[in-house]
Amino acid sequence: MGERTEMNGTEAAALFRQIADRIERNAEDEFSGAFLIVPPGDCEPIDGLSVSSKPNIPAFFSNLRGQVEIAIAEVTDAAAGGSGRGRGFR
């Protein structure tokens, strides 16, 4: 795998359009939440889309929190000189 480079504004805007497209493609289903986090630097973006007729708000935020906690652990590990392997660093 190649090195990930810092994302520019055009690339970040494209990610927001992609999540919007995913929401529209699932318009017939019950929309129950979406998120997109585009961190600075060379970290991977974090996104999620939930469609359910019975939205589970705690599960939605738990999913978001879990993904953010993984990213924080990877950043912390990389800053400490660890392998930083995983979603955010290559």
Q: Is residue 4 part of a domain?
A: no
User: By three-state DSSP, how is residue 62 classified?
Assistant: helix
Q: Is residue 30 part of a domain?
A: yes
pLDDT at 85 > cutoff 50: yes
Q: Is residue 68 part of a domain?
A: yes
Q: Which domain holds residue 22?
A: 9-79
The strand pairing partners of 89, in sequence order, are 85
Q: Is residue 38 part of a domain?
A: yes
Distance CA 62, CA 51 (A): 16
Angle at 57 between CA 56 and CA 59, to 5 degrees: 70
pTM of the model: 0.76
Q: What is the DSSP letter of 67?
A: H
Q: Is residue 54 part of a domain?
A: yes
The strand pairing partners of 48, in sequence order, are 35
Highest mean pLDDT among 4-18, 29-43, 59-73, 76-90: 59-73
The residue among 89 and 71 whose pLDDT is bigger is 71
Question: Could you tell me how far CA 71 lies from the centroid of its own chain?
Answer: 9
Q: Is residue 41 part of a domain?
A: yes
Distance CA 49, CA 21 (A): 11
Query: Tell me, what's the pLDDT at 29?
Result: 80
Query: Tell me, what's the pLDDT at 14?
Result: 96
Q: What percent of the chain has a predicted confidence (pLDDT) above 90?
A: 61
Q: Is residue 3 part of a domain?
A: no
